Every structure is written in C-alpha cells, then in structure tokens.
C-alpha cells in the first residue's frame, strides 16, 4: 500500500476542495512512481512501428501510448542509458508532454514560434511532426536551459530550428507566425510524481504570480500570431489560476477563439468553471484538464486557440 507523503497544508486543502471524494485517488497517484516514456524519433528512424518491434525483440518491454503512434511506456530498462538514446533514435519524454505538439499539429511549411522552448522536448517533437521542414523559432529566457535545448536539437538531428534567447513577455512581433506554442512556466505541481521537490516551492501566492506572467505571454503571442493561425497553451500545473483562469483572460479581448481538443485514447476531466470568488467563461470546458489518475501520467493542462 502506497503511503500518503507529507504535503504542504495549502496544497492538501486546495485539492481536497477541488476534488472532494476523489482527492484520495489523486494523492495516491501523486505518490506513485512516474512511468518512463520514449518517443521514437522519426527524423532518424524511417519506420517507427518496425523499430518498436526491433526493440521488443531485444527484450524491451513497450506499451503503446494511445494518443501517439510513435511513443511507448517502457519498463525494465533505463532508456537514457541506451545505445538508441545516444544515437538520437529515441527521446525520453513524459507521455502527457507529448500532447501540446500533437494538438498544435504544425505542417511542413509552417513558421512556428515555441515561446518557452528549453530544454527542447516539445521543440524537437514539433520538428519531427514537420519532417525537419518549415521553420521553428525556439525561444527561452534562460541561457542555462538553452544549453540543454542545443544538446537535444543536435541529438535528435533537428535542422529547422532557430534558437533565440529572450523574455517572451517582451517580444514585439505582429502577425508573423502560422502557429505558436506556449508551454508556459508554471508552479509545476503536476510534476510531483517525477520531482517531489516541486512542492517545496509551491504556494498559492506563487500560483497567482505565475498566472500574471502567463497572461502576458498570451497577450504577446496573440499579437504575433497570423489571422487564422493556431495557438496552443499548456502547463504542467493543476492550479485553476494558471489554467482555466488564464484561458478566461485570453477569451476576453485578445481576439482568440477556443477550439475543442480530441485525441483518441486520451482521458481528461471536466474543466473548472470557477475558483474561489471568480467565475470563468463557460468556453473553458473545451480545454483538456488531465489529472495524474486519468491516464497514469503527470498532471497537465492544454488549450487550443484560433486567431479570429
């Protein structure tokens, strides 16, 4: 039986209030080890299905991720220490983290802006979907994190990326990009299965602070997106302020229209239409709120917009 870990009091109170009698299951999954997941890199592997069979023949235990044909849960082996990893044939990436790039679904000739790109899981995934064509501007505020991005770009054989360093909230670009991804910096409480220390920095004040920064990123992105273009916003937090609260803000005055999201095999939960004394726009129901217990993954949140 999994023991309930020691949690910050504010954290326990918040999610007990949100989840009610489902809170016990949430806490149970928070304490469970996170499954390891690999994405087969089709920039270096021609046939992902055949390559998966070859890995299984070597004794790899693979379980297909329902919403991604080239991604698998893996057990019994440390994928980051394998020959295939160092050749860039596989990339270690959490299963829920695959969703934003799949939802954005860039085409080969698109001009894409990845506003908060480091360390590069989603950037290299976008490049894979684009078959190394078109162009991705991969930006991040942190030079240290950009080093990891550069390593992963080189490792995966990604060729269609221009790397920039800067504060995304201060970018000044009007109607330039076909598609934009904001995998926003957040309070990260959805990642506790991977890094329990994330909760040592967690508090409601931090959630509110991050929400203001996320809103500013969306304001800048809305200006930078072409009319008719697609914007995907994602976080690895379950905080309503940073998820539905930010989407409520985006739907009022930024010229963005929410789009429904459906991925085969992916389970999601009802989005929140209000929190504390704030009521949210009913259209937030079109977003994906993913609790750890929904798919045995990290906690995650994804929204998709079209610029009117």
DSSP H or E segment with residue 145: helix 143-156
Q: What does the alpha-carbon distance between residue 66 and residue 221 come to, in Å, rounded to a whole number?
A: 30
CA of 106: how far to CAs of 134, 159, 295, in Å? 9, 15, 25
All residues at 6 or more sequence positions from 23 whose CB lies less than 8 Å from its CB, including other chains = 15, 16
Q: What does the alpha-carbon distance between residue 305 and residue 63 come to, in Å, rounded to a whole number?
A: 31
Angle of helix 9-19 relative to helix 23-31, nearest 10 degrees? 130
Q: Are 248 and 281 in contact (CB under 8 A)?
A: yes
Q: What does the alpha-carbon distance between residue 158 and residue 141 come to, in Å, rounded to a whole number?
A: 21
Measured in degrees and rounded to the nearest 5, phi and psi for residue 235 equal -140, 160
Q: Are 216 and 250 in contact (CB under 8 A)?
A: no
Active site residue 236: yes
Q: Could you tell me how far CA 65 lies from the centroid of its own chain?
A: 15
Q: Are 90 and 74 in contact (CB under 8 A)?
A: no
Could you tell me which of 202, 213, 199 has the C-alpha nearest to residue 245?
Answer: 213
Task: Pick the catalytic residue from 30, 68, 116, 236.
Answer: 236
CA of 211: how far to CAs of 102, 187, 192, 242, in Å? 24, 9, 19, 5
Q: What does the alpha-carbon distance between residue 24 and residue 291 come to, in Å, rounded to a whole number?
A: 12
**Among all residues, which ones are annotated catalytic?**
236
């Amino acid at each position: 039986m999994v023991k309930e870990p020691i949690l910050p009091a504010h954290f326990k109170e918040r999610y007990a209030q949100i989840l009610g009698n489902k809170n016990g299951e949430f806490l149970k999954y928070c304490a469970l080890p996170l499954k390891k997941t690999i994405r087969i890199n089709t920039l270096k592997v021609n046939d992902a299905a055949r390559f998966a069979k070859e890995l299984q023949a070597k004794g790899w235990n693979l379980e297909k991720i329902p919403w991604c044909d080239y991604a698998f849960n893996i057990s019994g082996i440390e994928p980051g220490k394998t020959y295939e990893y160092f050749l860039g044939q596989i990339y270690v990436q959490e299963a829920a983290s695959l969703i934003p790039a799949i939802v954005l679904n860039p085409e080969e000739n698109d001009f894409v802006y990845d506003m908060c790109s480091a360390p590069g899981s989603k950037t290299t995934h976008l490049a894979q979907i684009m078959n190394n064509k078109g162009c991705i501007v991969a930006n991040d505020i942190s030079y240290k994190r950009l080093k990891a991005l550069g390593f992963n770009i080189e490792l995966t054989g990604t060729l269609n990326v221009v790397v920039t360093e800067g504060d995304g909230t201060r970018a000044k670009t009007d109607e330039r990009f076909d598609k934009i991804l904001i995998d926003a910096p957040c309070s990260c409480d959805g990642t506790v299965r991977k890094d329990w220390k994330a909760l040592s920095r967690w508090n409601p004040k931090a959630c509110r602070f991050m929400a203001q920064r996320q809103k500013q990123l969306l304001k800048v992105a809305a200006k930078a997106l072409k009319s008719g273009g697609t914007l995907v916003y994602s976080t690895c937090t379950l905080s309503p302020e940073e998820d539905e609260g930010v989407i409520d803000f985006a739907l009022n005055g930024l010229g963005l229209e929410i789009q429904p999201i459906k991925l085969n095999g992916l389970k999601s939960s009802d989005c929140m239409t209000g929190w504390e004394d704030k009521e949210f726009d009913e259209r937030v129901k079109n977003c994906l709120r993913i609790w750890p217990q929904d798919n045995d993954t990290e906690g995650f949140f994804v929204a998709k917009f079209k610029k009117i």
